[in-house]
Structure 1
């Protein structure tokens, strides 16, 4: 199975390098890290995103109708571009084989996710296969930066950049990734309610039924960062399809279930640590009380927890930083967002551990880059989550 993963990765790399400019071409005009951003906060009001309510008492076939009515055009634009790119990356014959198998894959997904995707397909007039592809894409294609910090009074803050669309259509004229730009109009806040009361809140791309960023008031904050590995999402996906191994958890769907179910930071940490997953991942949690912050490094079976105050790599005594690399390893030279983030957190200091500091750190290049679709700031104590769309001006790192 590991050999199959290597072959798939090699084929993907070959396809990708024929579809986008060389890394040298992309990086023309880019400057190295020159210092910490100090003036990005407060964000501009027009960059905020709209809020919708998801009523969990409604039928799964109806929950998304009002949202997809508003976002139908934007989702069509995104899916059309992704369809074209995937045909280039995979080859049209391979894409058609995979695409034709996705409706059957959707039928094997747990409830209510299959029903919700079916309703999104109906509301948008998109094939169920393409709605399914859109929903499972995040198992293997997401980059991110997450920060949890504690101020001198023990108040917890959680911030994150969601970066998406690497190698997915570089626009030479505008110096942007096409898929990242098409995702931005789909970014929304969701207020998940039951009996007219908020259960939790999240930031989603409209039509994506899992959760990558969320907060549960008086309980915990949550973000998810991709973790690379040979035994990754492609292998889990093949096991699901070929061997009918349906006991593993889809990461985005499982995250939503934890936000619905868990009633404390400790319960969320326990649930996220022990379930068998379809893909490796980093779960980042913040709590309500001082000291409640951790990075849960997951492969599909096992876990490692780095807690606030450990003073290990990727952390200080009062903050944690996670990008997309294990905290016990150095990040690669071509994608080191961790070092600037840590440097800027230390430069700001715990005395200034506020939303302002986190937003400015998340606005420091290359932590902030051409893939960054949104920045969110969360606080569990008051259940607050604020999100802003991002556009990184040149000169800016491509990732």
Structure 2
């Protein structure tokens, strides 16, 4: 069954599309470096979408609680992010508190499935689905290329108005996806890091010599069973086993990430990447998510 689903998953993304690309120069001052967003997005549409995310995600009391942060932004938010947030507010024509709240809103209710896998030649691949309960985020998803001295320093996929990265790649160094999933460029350089407020609480590396050539992480500690309603981890494991280490690559990893419910109705975008092959970084927006009926067409 899973072999058939993996073959059919190529059909799932016929409606997918690539997010717009924005170049951000790290040589520019933080307050102005996000101005290129305005070449891609209409300010009115951005503000309307941002308001939808904020109103449906952040409790009203948070707005009042942020008052001291607005007054002393640099005290609470380190450089260069404080300057970038100021600049974002200026570009959007929004209040500083709204941009801060928007960044918090993006942090509150995101979900994901992240997979790191190694093939039989020692190449490491990394993929992720980002799930979020707001359809409007599909219209805010962007690929960002960060430039330093005219060269690509790193790239990633994020949402307009957010000054960090959910998904990113430093060419020929490492890849990372939200919730601290990391992959490197050499065999064995893949690990799931579970963190608490003090630092790493668990390190779960690849162990290909003992047959553990992939790791799947969702939103629950990997050493505990997920809730009975969440089957993403189990289905992803079965799909990877059906694929086999000898067949894992960027394309087959995308197929695994396309199988329901690994990809589901809340999936905003899917990214596949490999730090050793930085030109293969690919993110696609899934305009309607994925559904079980899609997988059995």
Regarding TM over 0.5, the answer is: yes
Q: Deviations over 1:310-359 (max 9, x none)?
A: 799xxx62111110111111111112310000010001111210122211
Q: Deviations over 1:123-158 (max 9, x none)?
A: 111111111111122333221000011111111111
Kept in 2, the 8 Å contact 1:52–1:189? The answer is yes
Kept in 1, the 8 Å contact 2:258–2:290? The answer is no
How do residues 170-185 of structure 1 correspond to structure 2 at under 5 angstroms?
179=134, 181-185=135-139
CA RMSD across the alignment: 2.5
The answer on 1:308 being equivalent to 2:206 is yes
Judging changes above 3 Å, is the alpha-carbon distance between structure 1 residues 308 and 83 closer, same or farther for their aligned structure 2 residues? Answer: closer
Judging changes above 3 Å, is the alpha-carbon distance between structure 1 residues 374 and 311 closer, same or farther for their aligned structure 2 residues? Answer: farther
Please name the residue that 1:67 is paired with.
37
CA distance in 2 between partners of 1:215 and 1:133 (Å):
26
How do residues 112-123 of structure 1 correspond to structure 2 at under 5 angstroms?
112-123=80-91
Please name the residue that 1:135 is paired with.
103
Judging changes above 3 Å, is the alpha-carbon distance between structure 1 residues 395 and 147 closer, same or farther for their aligned structure 2 residues? Answer: closer
How do residues 165-314 of structure 1 correspond to structure 2 at under 5 angstroms?
165=133, 179=134, 181-225=135-179, 283-303=180-200, 304-309=202-207
DSSP-derived class of the 2:7 partner: coil
Mark the runs of 5 or more structure 1 residues left unpaired by the alignment. Answer: 1-32, 166-178, 226-282
Kept in 2, the 8 Å contact 1:144–1:160? The answer is yes
CA distance in 2 between partners of 1:310 and 1:328 (Å):
19
CA distance in 1 between partners of 2:229 and 2:163 (Å):
32
CA distance in 1 between partners of 2:246 and 2:238 (Å):
15
Judging changes above 3 Å, is the alpha-carbon distance between structure 1 residues 202 and 364 closer, same or farther for their aligned structure 2 residues? Answer: same
DSSP-derived class of the 1:334 partner: coil
The answer on 1:54 being equivalent to 2:21 is no
CA distance in 2 between partners of 1:125 and 1:139 (Å):
22
Please name the residue that 2:64 is paired with.
97
Please name the residue that 1:10 is paired with.
none
CA distance in 2 between partners of 1:105 and 1:332 (Å):
41
Kept in 1, the 8 Å contact 2:267–2:290? The answer is no
CA distance in 2 between partners of 1:96 and 1:192 (Å):
31
CA distance in 2 between partners of 1:115 and 1:62 (Å):
9
- Deviation of 1:59 (Å): 0.9
- Deviation of 1:164 (Å): 1.4
2:219 to 324, 332, 351: 324
The answer on 1:106 being equivalent to 2:73 is yes
Kept in 1, the 8 Å contact 2:23–2:145? The answer is yes
Q: How many residues align?
A: 287
1:373 to 240, 262, 268: 268
Kept in 1, the 8 Å contact 2:263–2:290? The answer is no
Mark the runs of 5 or more structure 2 residues left unpaired by the alignment. Answer: none
Q: Deviations over 1:11-34 (max 9, x none)?
A: xxxxxxxxxxxxxxxxxxxxxx99
Kept in 2, the 8 Å contact 1:68–1:123? The answer is yes
TM-score by length of 1: 0.67
